[in-house]
Amino acid sequence: MFLKILRWTALILGLLVVIAAILLYQGDLPAEVVDAKYSNEASQFLTLNNGTRVHYRDEGNRSGLPLVLIHGAMASLHTWEPWVEILGDTYRVISLDLPAHGLTGRVPDGIYGAQTFTSTINAVVDELDVERFVLGGNSMGGGATWRYTLAYPDRVIAMILVDSVPAGNWRSSVDEAPAAERREEPDDGPIFFKLMRQDWFRAIARYLDPGLLVEQGLRSAYNNSPVVDQALIDRYYELSLREGTRAAILQRAGSGGGSREAADLSVLTQPTLIMWGAQDALIPVSVVEQFEQSLPNTRTVIYDDLGHVPMEEDPLRSAADVRVFLEDLAVGE
């Protein structure tokens, strides 16, 4: 009798797993369909020696100071569109999709580490024959910014770090912050990034519909900003499901993502604008102090009411601060 109950229990559990798999399954979207929707007349594509096809845009005032902008994890160059519109009257604004992201997506060699990001940025500016420029990035893109500047200090005039990952393991740095400032694992933080650190989740995520996780993550990262509308949710959702991209995201996460080296940022003397949303649910504002202590030439702007993505949550205010910073650069030259 006991064995019979076990068999029925196992059968029922098996059926539930099959039903759940059917209900939660979501296949990839054809790359050509996603590309058609999320490219525009400014979109260009550069094929690298290893076969990687990089999506980038070169917009704004071509005679102006070049401003190269790098998006964060799970994002794309579209995150900079508000700044392009506002700052493009004066500055040449170049943005790109890093490997495993946007319309660049999966790369043939399957390598998505920090060095790959650095070489991708370098390939784009070389292609455009831009020798010196201001480099800025949000979150993971902030990390790509200071890493690129360490590798090519003579090419970077100034840096803009928007809610950027710091050198080393930022979670460890949060542990050292005052208890009242710690927000490493906020209850309302993006669930997706917590799950991606789990081996069991990465093993099945390749087949799951990420819709609910995408929406929850965006509302958390954007501090429940009204800019999180259906179009924004669709953009993140569809780009993540672009053929090959989901597998690339999981491969990058499984390899530890970006490098966590304890780099010496004190050698970077470039003027640096640090911009931060105090309500950031991903990287707490306490990390600002780490940048201020390690970088010798900084200016900091903190937005008390914004989250992890200030350039989209309040484009006018954040772009105005960038403009002041860049104008001061011109005066100082």
Q: Which domain holds residue 112?
A: 31-332
Q: Look at the alpha carbons of 251, 253, 256, 260 in this order and tell me if their dihedral is positive or negative.
A: positive
Q: Where are the alpha helices (DSSP H) in 47-113?
A: 81-87
Structure tokens at 174: 């949060």
Please state, in angstroms and rounded to a whole number, the distance separating the CA atoms of residues 199 and 278.
31
Residue 25 included in any domain: no
Report pLDDT for 249.
Answer: 87
Flag whether 313 is in a domain: yes
Q: Tell whether 172 is covered by a domain.
A: yes
CA 95 vs CA 59, 104, 191, 262: distances in Å: 8, 12, 28, 27
Q: What is the CATH number of the domain that holds 199?
A: 3.40.50.1820
pLDDT in the model for residue 302 = 98
Single pTM value for the model? 0.87
Residue 109 in any domain: the answer is yes
Asked whether the beta carbons of 44 and 57 are under 8 A apart, the reply is: yes
Q: Is residue 114 part of a domain?
A: yes
The answer as to whether 310 is a domain residue is: yes
Residue 301 has phi, psi (to 5 degrees) of -125, 120
What is d(CA 6, CA 12) in angstroms, rounded to the nearest whole number?
Answer: 10
Token pair for residue 123? 């390939």
Task: Return the number of other C-beta atoms located less than 10 Å from residue 167's C-beta.
Answer: 21
Q: What is the pLDDT of residue 199?
A: 67
What single DSSP character describes residue 97?
Answer: P
The torsion defined by the Cα of 320, 325, 331 and 332, in degrees rounded to 10, comes to 180
**Cα gap 183→196, rounded to integer Å:** 18
**46 close to 124: Cβ distance less than 8 angstroms:** yes
- Residue 181 corresponds to which tokens in the numbers above? 């400032």
User: Structurally, how many domains does the chain consist of?
Assistant: 1
| Tens-level pLDDT at each residue, the chain (333 residues) | 555 555 655 555 444 333 444 445 568 899 999 999 999 999 999 999 999 999 999 999 999 999 999 999 999 999 999 999 999 999 999 999 999 999 999 999 989 999 999 999 999 999 999 999 999 999 999 999 999 999 999 999 999 999 999 997 655 544 444 444 444 444 557 766 676 666 666 667 667 888 889 999 999 999 999 999 999 999 999 999 999 999 898 888 766 555 556 789 999 999 999 999 999 999 999 999 999 999 999 999 999 999 999 999 999 999 999 999 999 987 655
How many Å separate Cα 333 from the centre of its chain? Answer: 31
Q: Is residue 288 part of a domain?
A: yes
Q: Report the distance separating Cα 107 and Cα 177, nearest Å.
A: 38
Is residue 11, in this structure, part of any structural domain at all? no
